[in-house]
Amino acid sequence: MYQIIFYHTRNGESEILDYLHELKIKAVNSKTARINRKKILDYINALSVYGTRIGQPFVRYIGKDLWELRPLRNRIIFFYWRNNSFVLLHYFIKKTSKTPLKEITKHILN
């Protein structure tokens, strides 16, 4: 088993946890939000069990030790950390066929 760590800013905010909470609220009235939230949680669970060995379509290596978790059109950028853990950095909704460079470099520059 791998440990999943959600990245938090200095202010204690986690972009991914905030997004999951937002989806939970929307899921009351939105089937799409319910499906997205469930799929994201399923993929995070699969990552915790199998790691990056789970392969595509679940995860894809994008370079510079970064990976993307790929539930539906959602993308969650993460990396392997010591002691069998993964740090989930941030998410975005993929709108193009190629992952935007600004999403890959977002946390490298910080």
Which domains does the chain carry?
A: 3-105 (3.30.2310.20)
For residue 74, what are its two tokens? Answer: 């959602």
User: Residue for token digits 């939970």?
Assistant: 24
The reported pLDDT for the residue numbered 65 is 87
Would the pTM of this model clear 0.75, i.e. be above it? Answer: yes
Full strand arrangement of the beta sheet holding 85-93: 3-6, 85-93, 74-81, 66-69, 59-63
> How confident is the prediction along the chain (110 residues), in pLDDT tens digits per residue?
999 999 998 899 999 999 999 999 999 999 999 999 999 999 999 999 999 998 888 999 988 889 999 988 899 999 999 889 999 998 888 765 665 555 555 555 44
Q: 59: how many CB neighbours lie within 10 A of its CB?
A: 22
Distance in angstroms (rounded) separating the CA atoms of residues 82 and 85:
6
Distance in angstroms (rounded) separating the CA atoms of residues 83 and 67:
17
